Amino acid sequence: MKTTKEEYAVLCKQALPHSPVAKDCAWAFCVGGAICALGQILLDAYGALGFEKADAGTLTSATLVALSAVATALGWYQKLASKAGAGTLVPITGFANAVVSPAIEFKREGLITGTGAKMFTIAGPVIVYGMLASTVWGVARHFLWG
Amino acid sequence: MRKGDVIVLEHLPAAVAYAAGGGRRELDGPLGSAFDIAERDTRFGQKTWEMAESELARRTLETAFGKVPHDIGTPDVVFAGDLQCQCTASGYAMRSEDVPFAGLYGACSTMAESAALAACLVDGGFAACAAAMASSHFCAAERQFRTPLGYGAKRTPTAQWTVTGAGAVVLASGRGPRVRAVQFGRVRDLGVFDASNMGAAMAPAAAETLVRYFDATGETPDAFDAVYTGDLGAVGSNLLGSLLELEGVRLQNHRDCGLEIYGRTAPGSGASGAGCSAAVLCGHILPMLARGEMRRVLFLATGALMSQTTSLQGESIPGVAHLVEFCSEEAMACS
Amino acid sequence: MQLIRAFVVGGALCVIGQLLLDYTGLTPARILTGFVVAGVALSALGLYGPLADFAGAGATVPLLGFGHLLAQGAVEAVEEKGLLGALTGGFTAAAGGVTASLVCGFLAALFSRSRDQS
């Protein structure tokens, strides 16, 4: 065959179907916005119950995580995500889904060697690089403004 | 006899028995009614997805064995493969069969690879009867190569959907559609890196095999009722057409197993998986040849030969395409 | 009013994620990681705090907010304990969300099983 890698790259680019960006974004906006609005309702409710701001925030996160876990266990979160894309990925419910789904999936490989070992296969990097960044910022803060 | 890469068979072994199996989504597709194993529970009564695939493969193989005419006897060897790590679906399926077994890995090209090897053995007289099988399972593939089933991810439009399916064919001298020639493909890599665009990664290998076949045999695409590729999907099929046009080959009777099995309901770019071309061959193509609805067919199964590790290490995706030429009994008589 | 602001800002942050998915070919795992690190950076630059005040849950529920939480935790701990705080602040602030996910993951694994999505 005579076609070179460069020529094929051009062919591939032409053949690439485009994502329906407008539709994808509309879904992401509505579903992502709705999850955040639910968070706001929870935040206000915990505030009204007398929790201070930081605790209300933590309780809101925990509640959203629990709701996401239930939806994941029932197979609903994946179905919603197949339409909502980043709308279900970016909120904290997406983080919970990334923890809960491997925990369920790899149960057959054992509670320790499956669920325990693989729970953070997807979400692990988020924690690793989040913590690294916060440590760097903490050190910088100490020496620059300390 | 060899013509270039093409092995032209002397005795034209017959597909004396074949069976196909599929899961829920496959049964709802346009070929659903053709499956021998038709179970809506994709666990197939097993506890894990890996064993579910193995059970589907075992039942498909036993169904094919059951259809072999009594005067032919049991197969001397089974060539089988699947997508699971270390080829376990086939290996575990063969636990309950007292037949010599050679496990193969050719990714989604496995059905053509196994059928070609079985045909060569029968034609050369090294086996009176040989079987070929391939299988895949959506859930086993997702959890091993992609993400957990419950993980929320939106598929890209180029992504292909792994078929839950299996196909098995038994070759021997007898009645049935014939294998006229086989060709093992050369590995081709034109620098596609996207593991969710495997059709594009495999199209060059398919084009290479086809161009070499037509060059070596002097045949033209019009001589065939159809040229089936196994799982290029919509994107890969387009690219195959473009590549062949650059080589001066016009392929007007091209069909892709990855587009046939789900029809218009295909998710993303179409279907894939070793079981896709296997189920389409054994549930659709061979029955059509047996009924005389088609006379000559090229069956070309394509495989993407990467792993999760090579993908993460930033390697591009090599492809391979093996070819098996089938004809109906009537067409054989004419030639 | 606060509810509408949360909806619009939260939705807009998700749209940024969707545009990255559609146009850059970045995998979801990379986008999530990028969002958290970007959240730490925006917080450090003093940009995310005002957004969180304006949009409430619309800014704190997306993973950028998780990064903001980590950065705030680090700052508070450093102010309280000095350099040691850089090591403890992030995890302390993130403890609630991470532990909730972990506990829910374990419980879900006990009471649920893998489902065919096809």
Residue C118 has pLDDT above 60, yes or no: yes
Choose, out of A90, A105, A121, A129, the residue to mutate when testing the contact with C (most C CBs < 10 Å): A90
Calpha distance B39→B320 (Å, rounded): 32
Look at A12 and B154 and tell me if their CB atoms are within 8 Å.
no
Nearest-CA residue of chain C relative to B153? C28
Mutate to test the interface with A, among C104, C113, C115, C117 (most CBs of A within 10 A): C104
Would you tell me how many other CB atoms lie within 10 Å of the CB of residue B308?
12
pLDDT greater than 70 at residue A91: yes
Tell me the mean pLDDT in the region B157-176: 95
Asked if B148 lies within 8 A of A73 by C-beta distance, the reply is: no
Split at pLDDT 50, 70, 90, the class of B275 is very high
Which residue in chain B has the smallest CA separation from C113?
B150
Enumerate the residues of chain A whose CB falls inside 8 A of the CB of residue B234: 17
Beta carbons of C116 and B194 less than 8 Å apart: no
The C-alpha of B122 sits at a distance from chain C's nearest C-alpha, in angstroms, of 38
Is the Cβ pair A129, C56 closer than 8 Å? no
**Beta-sheet strands, E only, within chain B:** 2-3, 6-8, 14-22, 37-38, 77-81, 101-104, 129-136, 160-162, 165-172, 178-183, 226-230, 254-256, 270-272, 296-304, 319-327
Measure in Å the smallest separation between the Cα of C109 and chain A Cα atoms. 4
Distance from CA of C48 to the nearest CA of A (A): 14
CA-CA distance, C79 to B19, in Å (whole number)? Answer: 72
Residue A46 identity: Y
Q: Let me know how long chain A is.
A: 146
Measured torsion, CA atoms of residues B250, B256, B262, B265, in degrees rounded to the nearest 10: -40
pLDDT tens for residues C15-33? 999 999 999 888 999 999 9
Interval C73-95: pLDDT, tens: 999 999 999 999 999 999 999 99
Chains that touch B (3 or more CB pairs under 8 A): A, C
Top residue of A134, A135, A142, A145 to mutate, by most chain C CBs within 10 Å, is: A134
The angle formed by the CA atoms of residues A118, A119 and A120, to the nearest 5 degrees, is 90
Nearest chain C residue (CA) to A29 = C11
Answer whether residue C38 is part of any domain.
Answer: yes
Q: CB distance B149–C114 less than 8 Å?
A: yes
Residues C84-97 as b/e (b if ≥16 CB within 10 A, e otherwise) read ebbbbbbbebbebb
How many CB atoms sit inside 10 A of residue A117's CB? 14
pLDDT tens, position by position, B104-126: 999 999 999 999 999 999 999 99
Return the structure tokens found at B173. Answer: 């001298």
Residue B333 clears pLDDT 80, i.e. is over it: no
pLDDT tens for each residue of B215-270: 999 999 999 999 999 999 999 999 999 999 999 999 999 999 999 999 877 788 99
Query: What is the model's pLDDT at position A146?
Result: 58
- Pairwise CB contact (< 8 Å): C19 & A25: yes
Q: What is the domain count for chain C? A: 1
Nearest by CB to A80, from B151, B152, B235: name it: B152
A39 in contact with B at a CB cutoff of 8 Å? no
pLDDT at position B153, please? Answer: 86
CATH of domain B2-172: 3.40.47.40
Q: Where are the domains of chain B?
A: 2-172, 178-334
Residues of B in contact with A19 (CB under 8 A): 156-157
Full residue range of the structural domain in which residue C57 is found: 2-111
The band of B334, judged by pLDDT with boundaries at 50, 70 and 90, is low
Q: Please tell me the distance from the alpha carbon of residue C34 to that of residue C39, in angstroms, as a whole number.
A: 8
Residues of A in contact with B191 (CB under 8 A): 5, 8-9
Residue with tokens 């790899």: A106
Who's near B210: CB < 8 A, 6+ residues apart?
B227, B244, B249, B251, B298, B300, B321, B323
Q: What is the mean pLDDT of chain B?
A: 95
Q: Which residue has the tokens 């992504």?
A: B159
Residues C9, A36 contacting (CB under 8 angstroms):
yes
- Given the candidates 1.10.10.60, 3.40.47.40, 3.40.50.2300, 3.40.50.360, the CATH classification of the domain at B178-334 is 3.40.47.40
Q: Which two tokens stand for residue B243?
A: 């590549």
Q: Which residues of B touch A (CB under 8 A)?
A: 47-48, 143, 147-158, 188, 190-192, 197, 200, 204, 207-208, 211, 234-235, 238-239, 242-243, 246-247, 269
